[in-house]
Amino acid sequence: MQVIDTKNAPGAIGPYSQAYIASGLIFTSGQLPVDPATGDMPEGIEAQAEQSCKNVLAILEAAGSGAAKVVKTTCFLAEIADFAAFNAVYARYFTSKPARSCFAVKDLPKGALCEIECIAEA
C-alpha cells in the first residue's frame, strides 16, 4: 500500500490520508471544497462542487491517475435541492460517467455544501 499526499489538495483535517493506493486502485478520502492555497471555501453549490472536483483530481494526478480512470464516486450533499446544480458541475469533470452514489446528509464538516470521494485505477 502507498499513501498519497499532495499540497495541491487540502490536507486531512483528522487522522486519515488524502488517499491510498492498494491492489492497483486509488481510494480517496472525501474532498471538501476547500481551496488548498487559502484554506477557504467558495460560496454557493456550483463553486463548491467545482473546488471539490478539482481537489479529487489533484489527488488522482499525484497518484499518477486521472478522471478517466475513476470507476466509482460517492458524493455527499448538504441539501438534495442542490442535486441538479451539483450534477451540472460534476458532469464537466467526470465525463467517463463512472458509477456513482449521491445523497444528502445531515451535515458536512466545516459547513460545506458538498463532498466527493472516489475509487480509481492507479
**Active site positions, annotated:** 102
d(CA 45, CA 112): 9
- Distance from C-alpha of 6 to C-alpha of 35, rounded to nearest angstrom: 13
- Cell 470507476, residue? 71
Alpha carbon distances (Å) from 49 to 25, 55, 98, 115, 121: 24, 10, 17, 8, 22
